Structure 1
Amino acid sequence: MSEPMTQHYREILLGVGENPAREGLLDTPKRAAKAMQFLCNGYQKTLAEIVNGALFESDNDEMVIVKEIELYSLCEHHLLPFIGKAHVAYIPTGKVLGLSKVARIVDMYARRLQIQENLTRQIADAIQQVTGAAGVAVVIEAQHMCMMMRGVEKQNSQMLTSVMLGAFRESQNTRSEFLQLIGRK
């Protein structure tokens, strides 16, 4: 854990009018620094490490969907969480990706300071790069604490983003099938 980061959290506590020497806050700067390192551990990972060779020969050329992958990220504008789920689909062209690798790719990019729009694109591009798929689709639905806890304070707002590549972009039928299968008509 980073001592400079711990010191910065101590300064933040002082900045909001707290006493970092108070019993309940004695270890808070250290815990907060450790939590931030965990929440941003996607910076220490690479796509090659995540995939780790888990690409398998397959003659399947039908849509593969992994839906409702929970994700936790931090808004790069306010450092507040956004929480939701990703739905990822691809159409294989000779190779399929190990199932857990799809979720790990989502996590790697989510565990960075983000905006949801970029996160959606990064996941889609990574799946395309790794699989060489005929098409990739990613939909993310998330609630943003920066909308709920501050600013406009809208408790029931939800943001949806999508990226459609290849066959999902070119074919309305393919896109519609994907959206129907994930429950988004």
Structure 2
Amino acid sequence: MSFDAPGAAAAVRDLLLSFGADPDSPELRDTPRRVAEFWAERLAGTEADPSLELVPLPGDLASCPVILERVPFVSTCEHHLAPFEGYATIGYLPGVGGTVGLSKLVKVVHGFANRLQVQERLTHEIASALETRLRPAAWGVKLVAIHTCMSHRGARTPDVPVTTQVLGGAWEKEPPGPFRN
């Protein structure tokens, strides 16, 4: 998906007009451009394959569980273009694919989150990247998020977290503590 900055700014201008706002007023004059830039940044993960971050480190490293908890993320609901945000727990037990730098796991979470998403798909995309690129003995991804499309409209139920989780390998039957409900 390529980004059309002038087209996006024109669409925002039209949106402002549709709500009866004056996009030529001093307060709103730069809003179409700023909103277009915001969305270009927000959806930057669409152009990349975040799984390519998962390049195993050289050397023979000890095989022990690697689990990152409370990795913050923000994504955008593809149904309402509203944000959802929360925390990811992402982990794996190294196998034949080796280990990877910790920051790479965070980059994978953020890369997949920076797209139009639903939480369920986001969880599966992160898990699939771990499984495919690292070939671990076990892996897990758990996302807990608050969805503004649910808290700010419709049901208007704030502070209701949504949890999604995917476990694979040895952790399907016996997940470590952070992946137990």
Q: Same fold (TM over 0.5)?
A: yes
C-alpha deviation, 1:48, in angstroms: 5.7
Which residue type is aligned with residue 123 of structure 1?
A: I
Runs of 4+ in 1 over 6 A off after TM superposition: none
Give distance in 1, aligned partners of 2:154 and 2:101. Answer: 41
Which residue number corresponds to residue 12 of structure 1?
15
C-alpha contact (below 8 Å) 1:64/1:90 kept by paired residues: yes
1:1-185 matched pairs, under 5 angstroms = 2-47=5-50, 49-51=52-54, 53-94=55-96, 95-169=98-172, 171-172=173-174, 175-179=175-179, 185=181
Residue identity over aligned pairs, in percent, reads 32
Q: State the 1:151 CA deviation.
A: 0.6
For residue 95 of structure 2, give the secondary structure of its aligned residue in structure 1: coil
Q: Secondary structure at the match of 1:68?
A: strand
Amino acid at match of 2:38: A
The amino acid across from 2:120 in the alignment is E
Contact 2:73 2:88 in 1 (8 A): yes
CA-CA distance at 1:140 after TM superposition:
0.3
Q: Is the 8 A contact 1:60 1:93 kept in 2?
A: no
> Which string of whole-angstrom CA distances, capped at 9 and with x for unpartnered residues, describes residues 115-156 of structure 1?
000000000000111111011100000000101111111112
Deviations 1:78-106 (A, max 9, x none): 00000101000101015101110000000
Aligned partners of 1:91 and 1:136 also within 8 Å:
yes
Task: Give 1:166 shift.
Answer: 1.0
- Secondary structure of the residue aligned to 1:24 is coil
> Which residue identity does 1:55 align to in structure 2?
L
Partner amino acid, structure 2, of 1:2: A
Contact kept in structure 2, 1:56 and 1:98, CA below 8 Å: no
Cα separation, 1, equivalents of 2:161 and 2:9: 33
TM-score (norm 1): 0.90
Distance in 2 between residues matched to 1:118 and 1:57, nearest whole Å = 33
One-letter amino acid of the counterpart of residue 116, structure 2: L
User: What amino acid is the match of 2:25?
Assistant: R
| Residues in 2 aligned to 1:88 and 1:127: alpha-carbon distance in whole angstroms | 9
Q: Which amino acid aligns with 2:48?
A: K
Counterpart contact for 2:51–2:129, Cα < 8 Å: no
SS of the aligned residue for 1:10 comes to: helix
Residue correspondences, number: 177
Deviation at 1:61, TM superposition (A): 2.4
